[in-house]
Chains A and B, each alone.
Chain A
């Protein structure tokens, strides 16, 4: 049985100008211990998807359709109490900026043990010793001292390690990491990623890694989905996506990686910006920015086609742009 299976998920935000659809028909699944990447620019709906899984979309947003099956249980049907016993206990989440996600006025120890106290009957000493143990597992030196310190007394990398340790405390079977390294120093980023990978492999924990960096995803995850304007535009094994991308948007993302640019040249970019939710273009949402736009793209929304092991939503899929992503980007300039 799949650990997590999201089927045709729709998330809608009610607003004065009509309903805005933040996620449309999003489906993906995750086996136990598997690592999945969600890629896309800002506003693609990556974080909304993460919050939807935890059923934490705040008003005026709501899940307007679809199912989220976690270990066979539909999370959208659970009562608030049942959902709370899953959050932090079975599914943990790691956020982007560890300075913002730790409460500045409470010590590290208080914040860590809180998860344990919220989910199981446990004495203060036992919670403390478990927290110290986990701090050691994330390679924090002298955990006894760190335990009584405040977040501002720790460095950025250290704080993110604390956050990861908190996520591991309850032995969740799924961790959702929302851009866990974006706010960190470049030198720390790789360390934290390695740590996350190591711990997930060791404990057979499923990981959903949300990021805009395909480079990071390709090192950590096994599969990836690419999102654009609230839709999944491409999904498949990470190897296929990086080496044999089908969707022009995935090509654009790959081409925008700094590694793909000749030193001294300008960085490649995808022209234009992600449309706002209130103003999603007719047909394929990507058509105004697409290099390969055709007449049909402006009128009809592409359906999913399977090409090898990837699933792609593009009218041009399977025709022109397969092969090395670099070829397309080089033609542009």
Chain B
């Protein structure tokens, strides 16, 4: 079963165009490297940035190895607290990617359910849900997140917040961005439900839920896949922006954003690497995701078939 599915994938148009697209291959390789490296951070990283015993304040602000004052132990130098930058980046991108993926899963869950219901049943319910989406979209994600996170910190204190930071970020980013999914799914459902196969399954006597999830949803998967890649990148950027503003991950458990933030104060005193290196990592990560998203969009849209 798995073998035949794999063979089918190897013979598919998707794989065919992937093999001929150098940018897509490169992006995919880079992305895989990121994923592997960050999720095996505890094995790969020379230090554990969460372990205070391994951190020596005397090691702070050591530049990367290739510079004059570089230290053999710290490949990419250290930050203000004396943490190895490479290890911190590995651990930090793990947090960033986790938040990105789970926030998008939440968005997708909310957006797909609402979009399906809205498109399939139509009428007043559709109107109501889509106006709700419009309202949600008229607030920018960052604004909602800043208000929500700031209020939470003020109410429950920073200590509890630091414990729950990852969950809170996932919730906030996930809830703020569902309308993108809902709109895309709804538009596709509207097109799909007019097709005869939907009549055919209604004639069979299936219930609405089964028709929506088993028959219509699989037919709207390709646009969902395309926006998912872009949305993960967006979620990572949102998280970084929030962390940069001091509302995201705490400094003790830095994500890429809070790492950039922590070095920002020292950028003019010459310690540029604390900000620039995680910054470059973030840009590359988001860039390859967007490139892959573009590739998927081109391949999965039959109207754009190129020779």
Q: Which residues of A contact B (CB under 8 A)?
A: 54, 56, 59, 84-89, 92-93, 95-97, 100-106, 114-115, 118-119, 163, 166
- The smallest beta-carbon distance between A45 and chain B, in angstroms, is 17
Partner of A88, one of B196, B204, B210, B215: B204
How far apart are the CA atoms of A236 and B35 in the complex, in Å? 73
Is there contact, CB below 8 Å, between B219 and A105? Answer: yes
- The smallest beta-carbon distance between A283 and chain B, in angstroms, is 35
Closest to B196 in A: A100
Partner of A118, one of B200, B204, B215, B221: B204
User: For residue B201, which residues in chain A have a CB less than 8 angstroms away from its CB?
Assistant: 103, 114
Is there contact, CB below 8 Å, between B200 and A101? Answer: yes
User: For residue A56, which residues in chain B have a CB less than 8 angstroms away from its CB?
Assistant: 199, 202-203
User: For residue A114, which residues in chain B have a CB less than 8 angstroms away from its CB?
Assistant: 201, 204, 206, 214
- The smallest beta-carbon distance between B120 and chain A, in angstroms, is 12
User: For residue B205, which residues in chain A have a CB less than 8 angstroms away from its CB?
Assistant: 84-89, 115, 118-119
How far apart are the CA atoms of A86 and B215 in the complex, in Å? 20
Answer yes or no: B11 CB below 8 A from chain A CBs. Answer: no
User: For residue B210, which residues in chain A have a CB less than 8 angstroms away from its CB?
Assistant: 118
Chain B 295-306, CB-CB to A under 8 Å as 1, else 0, gives 000000000000
Closest to A81 in B: B207
- The smallest beta-carbon distance between B186 and chain A, in angstroms, is 18
Is there contact, CB below 8 Å, between A115 and B204? Answer: yes
User: For residue B200, which residues in chain A have a CB less than 8 angstroms away from its CB?
Assistant: 93, 95, 101-102, 163
Closest to B206 in A: A118
Is there contact, CB below 8 Å, between B218 and A106? Answer: yes
How far apart are the CA atoms of A229 and B195 in the complex, in Å? 25
How far apart are the CA atoms of A166 and B219 in the complex, in Å? 21
Answer yes or no: B197 CB below 8 A from chain A CBs. Answer: yes
Chain B 82-122, CB-CB to A under 8 Å as 1, else 0, gives 00000000000000000000000000000000000000000
Is there contact, CB below 8 Å, between A102 and B197? Answer: yes
Partner of B197, one of A59, A87, A103, A119: A103
Is there contact, CB below 8 Å, between B218 and A105? Answer: yes
Chain B 213-225, CB-CB to A under 8 Å as 1, else 0, gives 0110011010000
User: For residue A92, which residues in chain B have a CB less than 8 angstroms away from its CB?
Assistant: 203-204
14 contacts between A and B (CB under 8 A): A56-B202, A56-B203, A84-B205, A84-B206, A93-B203, A97-B196, A100-B195, A101-B200, A103-B218, A104-B197, A106-B214, A106-B218, A115-B205, A163-B200
How far apart are the CA atoms of A92 and B201 in the complex, in Å? 11
Knowing A56-B199, A101-B199, A103-B197 are in contact, say whether A87-B204 is a contact too (CB < 8 A): yes
Partner of B203, one of A85, A88, A97, A103: A88
How far apart are the CA atoms of A219 and B1 in the complex, in Å? 45
User: For residue A93, which residues in chain B have a CB less than 8 angstroms away from its CB?
Assistant: 200, 203
Knowing A87-B202, A114-B204, A114-B206 are in contact, say whether A103-B219 is a contact too (CB < 8 A): yes
User: For residue A106, which residues in chain B have a CB less than 8 angstroms away from its CB?
Assistant: 214-215, 218
How far apart are the CA atoms of A103 and B221 in the complex, in Å? 14
- The smallest beta-carbon distance between B221 and chain A, in angstroms, is 8
